[in-house]
Structure 1
């Protein structure tokens, strides 16, 4: 559901409200029944995510700090006796059909085109990872509806993958979603699906947040070994809110820019003689080396810029977790809040200057939010469009959103959309 937020200067923007479980389940169930002529076996849902800090660190073995959003993708599913999968989405026309035995990697003959690649890819990956009984999952009919904004950098693709993963986990009797270790294996399968079948070279943060998060907590994810810690996050107790500003600028991760940065980081790690840039960040943190010494070992100026971002961003994750841990809930004010603001602002500067993944729309959203009193603002997600976040006083969220909408109108951009993020529950069945 969306509403309209009136903004000063006459601009208007959408407010993206999360559906209740009952509404989301009814939407998916009704679409399924109308399309396939019988009710589904059940409905499952998975959240999108927003990353507080730790951008482009996941594929470098680093640290990140996402939360699961209350905005979720709902899937209604019924297993079949054959190996056919049929897909319908409220967001796309028509019914698509895929033979699971014919699913092929992106770019190969027989590759699945469009959004069904993410769903069919999960079935393929569960089998390739050896997680399915007798090596196979059944065919299935699937209906999808979602309130996770598409193309906003809030992991709509991971939400779809993870919803399908927990659905297949249930109907195929995999038994993986019952504990965190099993959910980590489901997340790994979803990453493989997105990388190999959908052709998007993403890291593992999005899927981990969707499957392994905890309500009321941020997820500290160590992308080197997959370990997680749950960091209490009660912004409301401090009178704060996390405002997500969807610029609605075009956001695509399959156009080569994301893959290019990942490759540059891998090349830099090889030059430095380490498995990943995480080792460099750890050595810097331990005082075993300095940034200057690390960067002096790289002749390529592009590699130096990318490495500087990754090292500093991992340090910002550690810094922010320490601040949230030592100033929980209502204590997150004054000096502690100023430090959080510094970390968010510094992350945006690094992503804009060293990683070069921001955009004019993202910069305008973050800059305007700061000017209107936000306690830090930054782009979030892969960049090249998508969303920015701002930590704001809860009673100022509407005014900040209005000011950003006005700034977009003055700049000649299309109207942005807004949502308030809170740390929500992970993927699972919907009983409503």
Structure 2
């Protein structure tokens, strides 16, 4: 597990001195609201108790040097050389954040260089937003250490700009917002148009519920063509219907959409429009009836992503179906799709049962063994030491 003492030790091991501070930021589970963020819609994620930790030390020059537990080599770049194309690979994330801070108005001409060491226990490629955890941890670290004074919504934009321009993934702002704004035992209802955020208590623990993550270990990448193609379909659907974004449509607009759009574009649009409504229905039900009543919306969300948006894979479908068949309150794939994880909301006694049944179902199909674990809603990005 990524922790404060471990981060300080690893920094000292790499750079030969104690760090000046340690910061961290969590991954996230999206409870519901998939592919709605870049359509100006609604999402309802929560920060999880898996975190990326950044230890920082000052330098006397203007180099930024980054190292990681997961890479044998440190990468360094002069502050004046920061650009979207300066570095490839894993180091593009932290160095891209430094560049993006400048794009949002940070005066980088007068900052000193830093050494950064990065550690994480957020699974990579599992749909739990390891990339946003890294971006937000670095953004908060540099913001506070350099005294930039950005608020958290702006830091979320910094992370999104890094993802879009440096990494090349056309994602929205949900992941960074969850990582920065999350609170313990709470989800973040985010309006991706206004960026208004409302922290909603989940009450999972009080109701005897656990959120089970089933990492299929089918890795996905948002920078590939599948994600971009879905975004292009959504934009084409909005143009075809004469609206600025799919956020402007309601469920009762779908009859007209079916008449105007080709079948594939219509199904992409239908997913986004109905998913927006499911997010609002989930939050309303959570407030009025508690978490035990939200299962039907989770189930319907998965069916929509499987059939209309076509971003599921057989392993995700098997995980969801097995959890549902063995008593889950609700289950769905989570994240951008084409791999990654499914989630299941379950009563506590069923955690070992569903874990065992999912593992057996994967073995029977000859799939790679999944990794199954529970997560709790945790605090967003913070300084740890």
TM-score by length of 2: 0.97
Structure 2 CA distance for aligned equivalents of residues 122 and 427 of structure 1: 15
Q: Does 1:213 align with 2:182?
A: yes
Structure 2 counterpart of 1:243: 212
Structure 1 CA distance for aligned equivalents of residues 48 and 28 of structure 2: 5
Deviation, 1:93, is: 2.0
Unaligned 5+ residue runs, structure 2?
Answer: none
Aligned-residue CA RMSD in angstroms? 1.4
Structure 2 CA distance for aligned equivalents of residues 398 and 136 of structure 1: 54
Structure 1 counterpart of 2:147: 173
Runs of 4+ in structure 1 deviating by more than 3 angstroms, as ranges, are 133-138
- Look up the SS of the partner of 1:52 in the other structure: strand
- Look up the SS of the partner of 1:115 in the other structure: helix
Deviation, 1:418, is: 1.7
Deviations 1:107-158 (A, max 9, x none): xxx431111111111110110111x246664422110111111110000000
Match for residue 96 of structure 2 among 121, 143, 148: 121
> 2:102–2:108: 8 Å Cα contact kept in structure 1?
no
Structure 2 counterpart of 1:12: none
Structure 2 counterpart of 1:52: 31
Q: Does 1:32 align with 2:6?
A: no
Structure 2 counterpart of 1:111: 86
Unaligned 5+ residue runs, structure 1?
Answer: 2-18, 177-181
The aligned runs of 1:411-426 (5 Å cut-off) are 411-426=365-380
Q: Does 1:393 align with 2:347?
A: yes
Structure 2 counterpart of 1:8: none
Structure 1 CA distance for aligned equivalents of residues 58 and 266 of structure 2: 50
Match for residue 97 of structure 1 among 73, 76, 95: 76
The aligned runs of 1:170-209 (5 Å cut-off) are 170-176=144-150, 182-209=151-178
Structure 2 CA distance for aligned equivalents of residues 135 and 302 of structure 1: 49
> 1:217–1:231: 8 Å Cα contact kept in structure 2?
yes
Deviation, 1:296, is: 1.7
> 1:53–1:317: 8 Å Cα contact kept in structure 2?
yes
Q: Does 1:294 align with 2:274?
A: no
Structure 1 CA distance for aligned equivalents of residues 237 and 111 of structure 2: 40
- Look up the SS of the partner of 2:118 in the other structure: strand
Structure 1 CA distance for aligned equivalents of residues 175 and 233 of structure 2: 21
Structure 1 counterpart of 2:227: 258
- Look up the SS of the partner of 1:392 in the other structure: strand
Structure 2 CA distance for aligned equivalents of residues 210 and 268 of structure 1: 30
Structure 1 CA distance for aligned equivalents of residues 370 and 64 of structure 2: 36
- Look up the SS of the partner of 2:219 in the other structure: coil
Structure 2 CA distance for aligned equivalents of residues 234 and 190 of structure 1: 29
> 1:48–1:154: 8 Å Cα contact kept in structure 2?
yes
Match for residue 371 of structure 1 among 321, 325, 328: 325
- Look up the SS of the partner of 1:149 in the other structure: coil
Structure 2 CA distance for aligned equivalents of residues 217 and 372 of structure 1: 26
Deviation, 1:86, is: 1.1
TM-score by length of 1: 0.86
> Are the structure 2 counterparts of residues 136 and 150 from structure 1 closer, same or farther at C-alpha, using a change threshold of 3 Å?
farther
> 1:122–1:164: 8 Å Cα contact kept in structure 2?
yes
Structure 1 CA distance for aligned equivalents of residues 79 and 236 of structure 2: 35
> 1:61–1:224: 8 Å Cα contact kept in structure 2?
yes
Structure 2 CA distance for aligned equivalents of residues 256 and 71 of structure 1: 28
Structure 2 counterpart of 1:143: 117
Deviations 1:3-61 (A, max 9, x none): xxxxxxxxxxxxxxxx5xxxx11221111111111111100000000000000000000
Q: Does 1:326 align with 2:295?
A: no
